[in-house]
Amino acid sequence: MKIIEARNYHDMSQKAAQFIIEKVNLLASPVLGLATGGTPLGTYKYLREDHLNHHTSYSHVYTVNLDEYVGIPPDNEHSYFSYMKKQLFDHIDIPRSHTHLPDGMAKDLSAECHRYEDLIKLLGGIDLQLLGIGMNGHIGFNEPGTPFSSKTHLVELTSSTRKANARYFDSLATVPFQAVTMGISTIMESKQILLLVSGAKKAEIMAKLLNEETNKDTPASVLKRHQDVIIIADSDALALVKERSRSY
């Protein structure tokens, strides 16, 4: 894993956007794996600005998102589809038919999981997967204990994840209990992975990730087994890593 230290959230976001733009300019038909949540908001803002000011084109880009809530219609403001439209898709020239998220409204969710895996294969796999990390080490909605062999699957959200995401909803009671997420093995099959980590609240999980051996209780630790992972973390997120390495 290669670690790039950013000064702060904005610096992290700028560096991540630059990384994505280079990939978009380099490849003939890049497949980007995208993430939602608070961490990539700044990255998407820089991508929007860059598209406006430097006209980077996304007409040849395909996207697959990590996850989607179950039971929230795409046009509902809380769906990850709405998030992606608002933060990125509505502001760049990507054809809507090139953008994909799991369908959390599918009647047969198990068939939907298979369809999503097949779709990723059909697109030729993910060239660059953007990831955040949960405070409990989850990636996508792969909570602690998820088998490393998992493909796209239906998950019951843990209460800590529901609480963490309640800030986007009117109340905790309205946060969905289930989601469809790419599995750990789906993520690990990406050719390259870009993990973004920001803020003091992620310092503990960063220290755990970097100091512990790969284990199922910290799903993100599986990334140590991938040959091309870049972590862009800001100094607040790296504070404990540095403190602990100084005390050895």
Write out the catalytic residue numbers: 67, 136, 138, 143
Site string for ligand PGA, 48-67 (x = CB under 6 A): --------------------
How many helices and strands in the chain, by DSSP H and E?
Answer: 8, 10
Length of the chain in terms of residues written: 248
Beta strand 99-100 pairing with 62-65: parallel
Strand partners for 180: 68, 154
Q: Is 137 in the site for ligand PGA (CB under 6 A)?
A: no
Q: How far is the CB of 170 from ligand PGA (least distance, A)?
A: 18
Side-chain half-sphere of 160: how many Cα atoms within 13 Å?
Answer: 9
Instruction: Pick from 6, 17, 34, 133 the residue near ligand PGA by CB under 6 A.
Output: 133
DSSP conformational letter for 104:
T
Binding segment (CB under 6 A) for ligand PGA, from list 73-81, 99-107, 133-141, 224-232: 133-141
- Please give the residues from 28 up to 47 whose contact with ligand PGA meets the rule CB under 6 A: 37-39
Q: Are 221 and 214 in contact (CB under 8 A)?
A: yes
d(CA 135, CA 143) in angstroms, rounded, equals 10
Q: Is 144 in the site for ligand PGA (CB under 6 A)?
A: no
d(CA 64, CA 35) in angstroms, rounded, equals 9
Side-chain half-sphere of 80: how many Cα atoms within 13 Å?
Answer: 28
Q: Which is nearer to ligand PGA, 63 or 161 (CB)?
A: 161
Q: Is 134 in the site for ligand PGA (CB under 6 A)?
A: yes
Number of chain residues interacting with ligand PGA (CB under 6 A): 7
Instruction: Pick from 30, 42, 102, 132 the residue near ligand PGA by CB under 6 A.
Output: 132
Q: Is 74 in the site for ligand PGA (CB under 6 A)?
A: no
Contact footprint for ligand PGA (CB under 6 A): 37-39, 132-134, 138
